[in-house]
Structure 1
Amino acid sequence: MENTLINEQQPSPDILFQAITRRSTDEQMDNENFEVLGDSFLKLAVSMSLYYRHPSADSGLLTATRSKQISNENLYRLAMQRHLKNYLNVNRVIFRGKDANWLPPGYVIDEANLTLKQRYYQQNAKKKAFSDMIEAFIGAFLISSNYTTTIKFIHWLGIDVVPVNEQAYLIAAFTHTSNSANRIADCYERLEFLGDAILEFLVTRHIFVNYNKIITPGRVTDIRQDLLNNDRLAYILVACSFHTKILHNSPELFDEISSYVGNEDFFPKNQSTDQYLNKNLDRWADSTAPKALADVFEALVGAIFIDSGNSLETVWQVIEPLLRKYLDRSISQPNLNPIRSFSEHGGKVIDCRESTDKDGDKPMAVCIVQMLDGAKVEGRGLSKKIAKANACREAMKHQHHNEYLYQSTA
């Protein structure tokens, strides 16, 4: 490696071996956990770099640029460019028999036999396997060294990343794009872009550090979806009364927030923040929350990060207490996305269409789903996606109710 990494702490051989090893090898370890950790840190590092390097770029441009840099296609290209492709360990080692692909030291094969040569000298892998290996290398550096060294490694790969303390950032975190009165700070969209990456990494890091031996990469994904979906973050923001700080000039947004906050099923009157944060731990977050609330939560995370001098630890100290109950519950049994849970229980979608609300005044999507037992359930929402989620959620309530009745009478 280049001089920038020669004097830095490097991953040990066993960690590097794990980083290059696919599950298909049937070894005692594989690179999937490293890949999940590296993926989230790469997203964060690139997000930070773009945020600081392009102060006038909007969140849409930042997101598009980030997507290109961290795409599987680009990571595959970097693996080829840095001559890392030959390190990938894909095939299971077979010592004996007609499919043997291992030679003892000192033995050679007849290279004129192309079939034999291919079996011993070549491995077949998809492009994504190489991009996964790159992310696993990043994860390996992260657990073996520190953030700075890992960023240097990312830079060595060929990704341009770079390793403020103003109240204006906090103003921006609560400023909606509709607010024309605020000329001091930007709106929250850029901070939301940064905060999203920070949140994902911090939750992934927490899971990896504390539960690495018992949590699979698939479970990590389930936990992150349970904790960090827009509806969960919106609920936490309102539970902390931060929605009252949002600066905007949008009657539509005002109506949406008022309707959501005024729903006493979610926010009963005269309850504390702690009481709100202890509610519905075993349920997937409701889908009626305005997305702007979740965006503000992520922007607040970005603002805390910048305001604390880029301190991830400070962000976690502030955010972890808000996520703690959900995190503990999700580790033991993550709440699955209702659409996925419904599908896994054998349900199917019968119809999804545009319609109006029950009074016939406002546009509204309607979705009808059918459970395995034939029962049909209807869901409504502002979009087909929300209507589908609501229908699946109600269907799963029906399923759980039937299971409870069965257990009670058994």
Structure 2
Amino acid sequence: MECLEVLGDCFLKLAISMSLYYRYPVANVGILTIEKAKEISNENLYRLAVENKLKNYLYCEKIIFQGKDSNWLPPGYIVKSNNNEKKFTHQTIKRKAFADKIEALIGAFLMSSNYITTIKFMHWLQLDAIPLDQNNHIMSIPPIVASELDDEIKQIYHNEGFKEIEMKLNYVFQNKAYLITAFTHPSKSKHCIVNSYERLEFLGDALLDFLVIRHTFLNYDQNITPGRVTDIKQNLSNNNHLGYILVSFNLHTKIRYNSNEISKHIQSYVNNTNIHHSTNSPVPKILADVFEALIAAIFFDANNSLEFVWKIIEPFLGKILDRSIVNPSLNPMRRFSDKGGKIIQEFTNETESVCLVQMPNGTYYEGRGKNKKLAKSDACQQALNHKD
């Protein structure tokens, strides 16, 4: 069940992210993130399991068929002794177990049917999943920019050399606005006809996680354990890896921003002598954000095709993907703890989460990420990368 749970968890997050993106076309990322957290929370999944009468189908305790500790009762049988009745008719289950079961059921539907059937099951559960139209297709969204701005979009596309990106992707965007938006930082969008990449990045993050996990299940399922899948996902969602990929293909030169500080951070990263040999160099968050936004841009432009998106981005993941699946790094937080490291402080500001850790020798390291978990992982990884 645990592997199905991992797969279902990723698809749940993707389906909810897509639904929120579709239903709230002008909401900022902060609102989308809050609503997503509510929908995928263990408490909400527990509530839906109870309301849909699924609790009677969940068995968490180990089934013992024989002996004094037996707790299995064949259908149609009853217990004569009231003293022993409870162990046959009752079990103690934490609410998270119900949430895990919902995720495992979603994973089971994915493995045994298709996306549309799985989405319908999620609708039956009353989850706010991706809306479907009358033909059971994912509902289309309004154009990312108004059609009367097409000429200005074309001008930006040609003047800023976005064709180079398409050549490296080996994909030509039908709607150039998606491509331009994916490379537009909030500092630039204030004075631009397109919005920033933030909403696309919100969805691209969920798309990348699901596509990687799906690829892993389809191609390496014989070696998969839940812990291994988690390590693979963390490896590939690591900002350092995504930023490294963007720079290695020289796509960072097309990012649109109005900030000297960002320019200095990117240039410092690019000039790092280890950049071409290591993916563990601290990376400006903007680089990873743009890569994830680009994934969502391709997804929308390719008519919501997950298969097509994977076909385009898989070559970019390349060796990092293969290495992460065949020999994923152990969870950096576990390794950090084993070495005697300590978490000193964690906090979240308006744009990201920050974590401060300390190694046994007294050295401090700071990590950043889109949430506390990623920030902690980043901080632990930086501490582990340090060589005395």
TM-score (norm 2): 0.79
Cα shift at 1:387:
6.3
Distance 1:388 1:135 in 2: 29
Cα shift at 1:198:
0.3
Change (3 A) 1:249 1:369: same
C-alpha contact (below 8 Å) 2:336/2:383 kept by paired residues: no
Cα shift at 1:77:
0.3
Cα shift at 1:158:
0.3
Alignment pair present for 1:298 and 2:292: yes
Aligned twin of 2:68: 98
C-alpha contact (below 8 Å) 1:180/1:249 kept by paired residues: no
Cα shift at 1:72:
0.7
Aligned twin of 2:117: 149
C-alpha contact (below 8 Å) 1:377/1:391 kept by paired residues: no
Alignment pair present for 1:321 and 2:310: no
C-alpha contact (below 8 Å) 2:343/2:356 kept by paired residues: no
Q: Single out whichever of 291-300 and 335-344 deviates more from structure 2.
A: 335-344
Cα shift at 1:381:
5.4
Q: Single out whichever of 329-338 and 42-51 deviates more from structure 2.
A: 329-338
In structure 2, list runs of 5 or more residues that go unmatched.
Answer: 132-137, 144-173, 346-354, 369-374
Distance 1:69 1:186 in 2: 26
Deviations 1:16-60 (Å, cap 9, x if unpaired)? Answer: xxxxxxxxxxxxxxx111110011001111111111111100111
Cα shift at 1:389:
4.3
Aligned twin of 2:101: 133
Instruction: Indicate the structure (1 or 2) with the bigger Cα radius of gyration.
Output: 1
Deviations 1:88-109 (Å, cap 9, x if unpaired)? Answer: 0222222222222223455321
Aligned twin of 1:391: 383
- Alignment partner for residue 174 of structure 1, among 145, 162, 183? 183
Distance 2:63 2:340 in 1: 42
Distance 1:351 1:131 in 2: 31
Alignment pair present for 1:254 and 2:254: no
Structure 2 counterparts to residues 96-245 of structure 1, below 5 A: 96-104=66-74, 107-110=77-80, 113=82, 115-161=83-129, 162=131, 163=138, 166-180=175-189, 182-245=191-254
Cα shift at 1:79:
0.2
Aligned twin of 2:3: 33
Alignment pair present for 1:348 and 2:341: yes
TM-score (norm 1): 0.75
2:336 is paired with a residue of what secondary structure? helix
Q: Which amino acid aligns with 1:391?
A: A
Structure 2 counterparts to residues 268-279 of structure 1, below 5 A: 279=277
Deviations 1:174-228 (Å, cap 9, x if unpaired)? Answer: 0000015753211000000000000000001111112223210111010111111
C-alpha contact (below 8 Å) 2:336/2:380 kept by paired residues: no
Distance 2:63 2:218 in 1: 31
Change (3 A) 1:96 1:336: closer
C-alpha contact (below 8 Å) 2:189/2:196 kept by paired residues: no
Aligned twin of 1:64: 34
| Percent identical residues | 55
Cα shift at 1:166:
2.2
C-alpha contact (below 8 Å) 1:379/1:388 kept by paired residues: no
C-alpha contact (below 8 Å) 1:339/1:393 kept by paired residues: no
Cα shift at 1:328:
1.6
C-alpha contact (below 8 Å) 1:379/1:389 kept by paired residues: no
Cα root mean square deviation, aligned: 2.5
Change (3 A) 1:260 1:337: farther
Q: Which amino acid aligns with 1:186?
A: N
Structure 2 counterparts to residues 1-80 of structure 1, below 5 A: 31-80=1-50
Change (3 A) 1:72 1:351: closer
1:178 is paired with a residue of what secondary structure? helix
Runs of 4+ in 1 over 4 A off after TM superposition: 349-352, 365-368, 379-389
Distance 2:103 2:309 in 1: 24
Cα shift at 1:258:
0.7
Aligned twin of 2:359: 369
C-alpha contact (below 8 Å) 1:230/1:294 kept by paired residues: yes
